[in-house]
Amino acid sequence: MPSYFRESRNIELSVIYDLETHLASDWTGITVVKRFTDAYKAAMPVVAISLSDTTNTRKEVGATSLLNDYYISIDIFAKSDGQRLDLADYIIDKLKDGCIYYTHSQTPGSPDTLTRTPAGFVHVNRFNMNHKIDLGDDGVDTYDRFRHYIEIVVRNV
């Protein structure tokens, strides 16, 4: 019997899948990872995407149903300052339109294989952050020399 994921995990995987698909079709050599720490294990340039926070509010006074906002963190590890800027602009351009919300499941015995079923839409409510991470030039690791951070707030609609 398949194992189904909850909404938070589906949101994260839907955004990762969307950006990974766009980057694979329009760029060459971009590695997409789920965890920030995995970025340091992959060949550059790397884009790390993860759900970092969730806020829950009631849909209306007295309701028991919740409105969930999901904060998605996107870290870019570029090879140059120009590539950092180009990737940041590209990612914002692709995210502004939102993406398909998929429910994901995995089959026992094959946990690395996910099945995706379209089940809605991920709407970008806000672009919270879009800035260069400046750690200086002296003694900075290659991965951290041209870093960029984007944070978006999304909702399943």
Q: Please state, in angstroms and as integers, the Cα–Cα distance from residue 76 to each residue in 39, 90, 121, following that order.
A: 9, 12, 25
pLDDT of residue 126: 96
pLDDT of residue 59: 83
pLDDT of residue 6: 93
Measured between alpha carbons, how far is 111 from 104 in angstroms, rounded to an integer?
Answer: 11
Per the DSSP assignment, residues forming a β-bridge with 54 are: 70
Measured between alpha carbons, how far is 32 from 6 in angstroms, rounded to an integer?
Answer: 22
Computed on alpha carbons and rounded to an integer, the radius of gyration of the chain in Å comes to 17
Domains along the sequence of the chain with CATH = 3-156 (3.30.2000.10)
pLDDT of residue 142: 86
Host H or E run for residue 84: helix 81-95
pLDDT of residue 1: 47
pLDDT of residue 2: 57
pLDDT of residue 25: 96
Q: Which of 34, 12, 19, 40 is nearest to 103 (CA)?
A: 12
Three-class DSSP category at 93: helix
pLDDT of residue 45: 97
pLDDT of residue 117: 93
Contact (Cβ atoms closer than 8 angstroms) between residue 119 and residue 45? no
Q: What is the mean pLDDT of each run of 10 residues along the chain (157 residues)?
A: 81 97 96 92 96 90 89 97 97 97 86 88 96 83 92 96
Contact (Cβ atoms closer than 8 angstroms) between residue 137 and residue 39? no
Instruction: Read off the amino acid at residue 22.
Output: H
pLDDT of residue 137: 72
